[in-house]
Structure 1
Amino acid sequence: MHPITHGAACALALLAAGPALAQDQSAGSAEDAATTLGILPAAPARRPFQPFEKDGVTLLLNYTGEAAANPSGGVRQGAAYTGQVFLGADLDMARIAGVAGGTVHLAVTNRHGQNLAATRIGTSTSVQEVFGTQNTHLAILTWQQKLAGGRLEIEAGKTVANIAFLNSPIYCHFQSNSACGNPTFVFKTSNFTYFPASSWGAHATAHLTDKLYLHVGAYEVNPRRKRANDSGFTASFKGTTGVIVPFELGYGTDFANDRLPRHYQAGGWIDRGDYADPLVDAAGAIALLSGQPALTRHGRAGGFVRFDQMVWRPDDHSQRGLTLFGVAMKNLSGRVIETRFLELGLLQTGTFRGRDRDTIGFMVNDQRFSDLALRGLRAARASVGARTDDLPRHQYMMELAYGAQIAPALRISPNVQYIVNPDQLGDPFRRRNARDALVLGFKFTVDAPTLLAH
């Protein structure tokens, strides 16, 4: 199994923060996806039930549930629940077929439930990370090949960009989709593909040293993959409008070679797919007012820097400690609804005596809206006779979350979220701004192989 990475759409990173930090962030297997998307329990105290492990087959079956309610703020008060079944397998092709360094990864999801952000709060960013692609979906079917003694890793097939790029096991210790599984900015400003809405893609990692690596990918841009009736099982390229190319240069350490593990990355994406102009239609009129489809444009780009750094570790014989993390993202070309994204957070692994695998974390991020987005909202407001001078430029989302390992197979995470200036993008004709929202969340994950362990 190759090192844990990254990025896609789902819930609390339920591997203990210490072990998660001990991995590099450039992989993409089914188990890696489960871990970093928050659907595996933290470092189980007993060996999971794996009846076919000796034959080269590792099975994965997990359930993640996320509840959220807004007792104050937003558009109106209410509650919502969403959940995800994750079924997967990693096939060691060296044992199965004698292909050294080869692994087949398979993952299928079923998502169900409702989105509190859309129905009650009025923001386009979910407060329940496992909401999205609400059907049974083929999320991963790839072949991964290690070459040159593991210095080069290549993976290709049906997959998504966000389980390999712009992710960290740290992020899904939170329930807000603004942080977990990836900084939400990349999805709002590009065709970056997200879990589990798979398309054709590939990525390669060159480990330049034991700490430094170069990571590049290419993923099909196909709007059909995001439709409610798309199951991900089709092999067709029909509907493809281009390709998105993410890339990064990374430096990472772990507990084996660093007392205070760290990861630093810089990179970006080149989006050569079609997208809808955020303001005008084909005639140059404001699309919100004309009712006509937005003008189709082609090509965007963005860049990022991000890091996580353990800053305090009380005991060299354990992985308890405090980690600081941050992200900065910027649009570089194209017409977008957000121009930049900033995030900063802290995660403490090991909380009270005897709770070494529990975590407590806090994060806050700032999403800055573009002039184009605000111009469209002002036009919509003006058309219904509402004020246009009070639209906020920034949306701030924050969360305080506690992760408790209740049993080897069960982890829960009560959390409190607060949203300042919920955006109006989903309801542009509102006559007044949605109120700042308090959100009470609860996330849990059950892992079947651990539950069935002897």
Structure 2
Amino acid sequence: MLSSLWKRQHALRAGTALMCLLLTPVQYGWANDGDTAGGYRRLLPHVTDIVVHGKVEEKQRVAHDARHVPTEPSVPMLVPSINGVGGAPSTPSSSQSLGQQPYLFSLHSRAVATAGRWMEQYGVYLTGWNVSQVDVAPSGGTNAGSFFNNNAGIGTDLDLQKILGIQGAQFHFFAVDTAGEAHAGEFTGSTWAYLSWLGAHDGFQVREFSWDQALLHNKVYILAGRGNPKGGEFEGSELYCLFSAVLCSAPAALTVNGALPSTTISTWEFRILVKPTAHTYIKGGIWEIEPSLKATNHNSWPGPDWGFDRAKGEYFPVEVGYRTNFSNDLYPRAYDIGFTYDTSVYNDPLYNTRGLPRAVYGGTAQPRRGRTQLYIQAQQMLWKPEKKGTRGTILFGAANFQLSGDPPVKRGFVGGVVDWGPFSPRPRDYLGVAVQAFQWNDRLTQAMNDTYRKQGSHQKWTNYETMLEVDYGFNVAPGIMVAPYFEYIWHPDLLGYTTLPSHVGFALQTGLSLFMQLAPAFDLPALHRIRN
């Protein structure tokens, strides 16, 4: 198995290197297109440029399709993020700097760009990304060691109005290949301070297969098919996946406290989004809970798992929010509040079926059904060096609260800051600091203490865990980021251990992430989709 992973990883690296060699000679792309009103010339042709080794090249870009002018984009165009699976906005959100950036190289090719524009005329858009991570746990935790992880995604977005003449209709397909040792718990001792791109298991899996329909003059959007409530749908931010370890897609408490599928797989879904105004939205949906998807590599293709007989419950999220962007706000912001209800059966963290502590008396975990939680989330650009520019400092935070049931996390908190373009000569780099903290469920705390006592230890399990991560993202080429990071964990949770280690008070983890997003990396058009 290790040999197979080694071969896959080196084949991927070799393929990437070959592609770079083939496409590097022709270098041109995009840069600043800001206007004097604090917005952007979204519908007019404009000249754009990039800088590679001090040389500037220009090209004329065609006008945007007016039907695809975004309302509230939640996904960065020039910063890789799985929050944008299946599309990206045609104007920048608050998480972008669009100043002139000095690049080390470019993968732009006139032939590839021309092919992309030709496909766009017929309503076909390619989308994808690749994330490679090398990581080291040098100190603390339970073991020292290093590990590698790779996630690659590829898909297509179809504009069904161009293809079939169906007004306001899109179709999205996206598949993900996961390989490596994404979970760092065996080194750090923390189950949830893992690499952000963790999948349920290695393999090639369908991430999205859905119909996206706009109705009532773009006031209502219906999404149906197979998908995931994470990845930008609920409690999401375009900022989260810029971090390599502590969070991605959504705060970890949303995942820990429910049975929703991992980020790399999909289940049956139905979501409705209503936009009362250009800045506000209300959305809700239902997702199938199918635990078998996490256990086997079925590739998510049509088969037994596409039936409803394997469903073990439903997941109901609802969210109300307000969001702006640089096209309508000098200091973009986003605020939302949400509620989730999980109907699936889960194991009581403390008691067995006889009502006795399972860690002491053994037996089968007591089955429980139904969990609810409330979350609030906010982000706000607070400061900019130029009033009408896009560089600046963004503050963000989220909080999750258990309302009913006994999920592992009683309360979860996320907070941090992202500085876009921290240095004027590099306006598309970013500096990020994020903190995530859990307060664990009281029953879970008692169960862990019972386990220590059964082992003959007098140690007490700490009922909270805190993680700090610092990243710097170097935008080395259009659509490509190299981001070294450092993570410190206080009180690793040890939840993945049958026999609990003693005196594990901290853990260090550091590494390097390489992000690539297909559309900006190869100068391909992207189909905008509305998520909020």
TM-score, structure 1 as length reference: 0.89
Instruction: Tell me which moved more, 53-62 or 285-294.
Output: 285-294
2:147 is aligned with 1:80: yes
**Per-residue Cα deviation, 1:386-411 (whole angstroms, up to 9, x for no partner):** 123x3212100010100110011421
Question: Which residue does the alignment assign to 1:422?
Answer: 492
The AA in structure 2 aligned to 1:446 is M
Q: Which deviates more from structure 2 when the two are superposed, residues 413-422 or residues 378-387?
A: 378-387
Shift in alpha-carbon separation, 1:434–1:402, aligned structure 2, 3 A: same
Paired with 1:412 and 1:42, the residues of 2 have a C-alpha distance of 18
Taking structure 1 as reference, are residues 269 and 449 closer, same or farther at Cα in structure 2, changes over 3 Å only?
A: closer
SS in 2 for 1:382: helix
Q: Give the conservation status (yes or no) of the 8 Å contact 1:14–1:173.
A: no
Q: For 1:55, which of 114, 122, 127 is the aligned residue?
A: 122
> Which residue identity does 2:443 align to in structure 1?
L
State whether structure 2 residue 163 is matched by structure 1 residue 96: yes
Tell me by how many angstroms 1:123 deviates: 0.9
Question: Counterpart in 2 of 1:23?
Answer: none
Which of 323, 340, 345 lines up with 1:252 in the alignment? 323
Shift of the alpha carbon at 1:268?
Answer: 1.2
Q: 1:190-339 to 2 correspondence within 5 Å?
A: 190-233=258-301, 234=303, 235-289=306-360, 291-339=362-410
Q: Which amino acid aligns with 1:286?
A: P
Distance 1:52 1:153 in 2: 25
Give the aligned residue type for 1:57.
Answer: V
> Alpha-carbon deviation of 1:105?
0.3
User: What is the Cα deviation at residue 142 of structure 1?
Assistant: 0.1
Partner of 2:134: 67
Inter-partner Cα distance in structure 2 for 1:368 and 1:55: 51
Q: Secondary structure at the match of 1:240?
A: coil
Q: Distance in 1 between matches of 2:199 and 2:350?
A: 25
Q: How many Å separate the matches in 2 of 1:418 and 1:14?
A: 30
Distance (Å, rounded) in 2 between the aligned partners of 1:75 and 1:131: 20
2: CA distance, partners of 1:312 / 1:108: 38
The range that moved more, 92-101 or 437-446, is 437-446
Matches of 1:14 and 1:366, distance apart in 2? 30
1:229 Cα deviation after fit: 2.7
* Aligned-residue CA RMSD (Å): 2.6
Unmatched runs of 5 consecutive residues or more in structure 2: 1-67, 90-95, 525-532
Match of 2:235 in 1: 166
Q: Partner of 1:175: helix, strand, or coil? A: coil
The alignment status of 1:361 with 2:428, answered yes or no, reads no
Q: Cα deviation per residue 1:324-378 (whole Å; 9 max; x = unaligned)?
A: 0010110000012210011110100002232100000101121001111111111
CA contact (8 A) 1:405 1:412 kept: yes
- 1:290: how far off? 5.0
Deviation at 1:151, TM superposition (A): 1.0
Match of 2:252 in 1: 184
Cα separation, 2, equivalents of 1:106 and 1:41 = 29
Find the aligned partners of 1:301 and 1:179 in 2 and give their Cα distance. 21
- The residue number in structure 2 matching 1:438 is 508
Deviations 1:54-108 (A, max 9, x none): 1111112321112221111100111111111101110110011111100000000
**CA contact under 8 A between 2:182 and 2:197: conserved in structure 1?**
no
Q: Using the TM superposition, name which of 49-58 and 91-100 deviates more.
A: 49-58
The structure with the largest strand share of the pair is 1
Partner of 1:124: 191
Match of 1:385 in 2: 456
Whole-angstrom CA distance in 2 between matches of 1:290 and 1:54: 67
Shift of 1:29: 5.3
Q: Is the 8 A contact 1:5 1:165 kept in 2?
A: no
Any conservation in 1 of the 2:193–2:467 contact (CA below 8 Å)?
Answer: no
In the aligned structure 2, how far is the partner of 1:58 from the partner of 1:316? 35
Q: Which amino acid is the alignment partner of residue 405 of structure 1?
A: N
**Contact in 2 for aligned 1:67/1:80 (Cα 8 Å):** yes
Q: CA deviation at 1:382?
A: 1.1
1:222-270 Cα offsets, whole Å, 9 max, x none, are 1112113332223211221221110111011111221111001011101
1:342 matched to 2:398? The reply is no
Paired residues, number: 432
What is the CA–CA distance in structure 2 between the aligned matches of 1:279 and 1:14, rounded to whole Å? 46
Q: 1:66 to 1:28 in 2, by over 3 A?
A: closer
- Larger deviation, residues 409-418 vs 278-287: 278-287
CA distance in structure 2 between the aligned counterparts of 1:333 and 1:376, rounded to whole angstroms = 19
For residues 430 and 194 of structure 1, do their structure 2 counterparts lie closer, same or farther at Cα, with a shift above 3 Å needed? closer
- Percent identity of equivalent pairs: 25
Residues 450, 209 of structure 1: CA spacing in aligned structure 2 closer, same or farther, 3 A cutoff? Answer: closer
1:183 Cα deviation from its structure 2 partner: 0.5
Q: In 2, distance between residues paired with 1:244 and 1:274?
A: 12
The 1:16–1:116 alpha-carbon spacing in structure 2 relative to 1, beyond 3 Å, is closer
Moved more, 150-159 or 107-116: 107-116
Instruction: Give the SS at the match of 1:186.
Output: helix
The answer (yes or no) to whether the contact 1:41–1:410 under 8 Å persists in 2 is: no
Aligned to 2:27: none
Cα offset for 1:42?
9.3
Distance 1:210 1:440 in 2: 41
Does the 8 Å CA contact 2:97/2:420 hold for their aligned counterparts? no
Deviation at 1:429, TM superposition (A): 2.3
TM-score, normalized by length of structure 2? 0.76
Determine helix, strand or coil for the equivalent of 2:139.
strand
Q: Distance in 2 between matches of 1:174 and 1:221?
A: 27
Tell me the residue number matched to 1:407: 477
CA gap of 1:172–1:14, structure 2 versus 1, over 3 A, is farther
- The alignment partner of 2:217 has SS state of helix
User: For residues 268 and 261 of structure 2, what CA distance do their matches in structure 1 show?
Assistant: 10
SS of equivalent residue, structure 1 residue 30? coil
